[in-house]
């Protein structure tokens, strides 16, 4: 089962993501990127990192930058959930190294489909159509 690391400072969002994504993935959820670094040091290797947006000058972004430089997490795509549907936040996320972004509130099914796409799998509920 694929491991997803969720980093979100909102307890309700963490609980929602743990419950929703936990149906498909092994989910490890923490409040801060600093806590995630401790998991790295303990040997966790997630297939994806799903993190909440933080302003680019915040200590959380500094810690996320440190996470993205860890050798055994280099292949774990970073997916950022932004607070608002603002271009500036998306640009900040991509500058940080995110492979995709999505604004809150979001459709959980779309989130799952984007995650599967990023990890190279087609969701089981998707039917491929033959193009003529």
pLDDT of residue 131: 53
Q: Which residue has the tokens 């998991």?
A: 39
Residue 99's Cβ-count burial label (10 Å; 0-12, 13-18, 19+) is middle
SS3 for the chain is CCEEEEECCCHHHHHHHHHHHCCCCEEEEECCHHHHHHHHHCCCCCCEEEEECCCCCCHHHHHHHHHHCCHHHCCCCEEEEECCCCHHHHHHHHHHCCCEEEECCCCHHHHHHHHHHHCCCCCCCCCCCCCC
- pLDDT, one tens digit per residue, over 63-92 is 676 666 666 677 788 898 988 777 888 888
Nearest CA to 24 among 50, 51, 53, 52?
A: 50
* Domains detected in the chain: 3-118 (3.40.50.2300)
Rounded distance between C-alpha atoms, residue 111 and residue 102, angstroms: 8
pLDDT of residue 124: 47
Contact (Cβ atoms closer than 8 angstroms) between residue 25 and residue 2: yes
pTM for the complete prediction? 0.81
Q: What angle do CA 107, 92, 64 make, to 5 degrees?
A: 85
- pLDDT, one tens digit per residue, over 111-132 is 999 999 888 754 444 444 455 4
pLDDT of residue 111: 93
Chain center to CA of 116: 11
């Amino acid at each position: 089962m694929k491991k997803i690391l969720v980093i979100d400072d909102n307890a309700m969002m963490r609980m929602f993501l743990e419950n929703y994504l936990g149906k498909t993935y092994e989910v490890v959820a923490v409040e801060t990127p600093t806590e995630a670094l401790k998991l790295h040091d303990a040997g966790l290797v997630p297939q994806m990192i799903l993190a909440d947006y933080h302003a680019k000058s915040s200590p959380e972004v500094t810690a996320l930058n440190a996470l993205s430089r860890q050798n055994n997490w280099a292949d774990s795509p970073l997916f950022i959930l932004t607070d608002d549907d603002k271009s500036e936040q998306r640009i900040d996320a991509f500058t940080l190294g995110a492979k995709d972004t999505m604004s809150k509130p979001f459709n959980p099914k779309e989130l799952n489909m984007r995650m599967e796409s990023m990890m190279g799998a087609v969701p089981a509920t998707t039917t491929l159509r033959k193009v003529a």
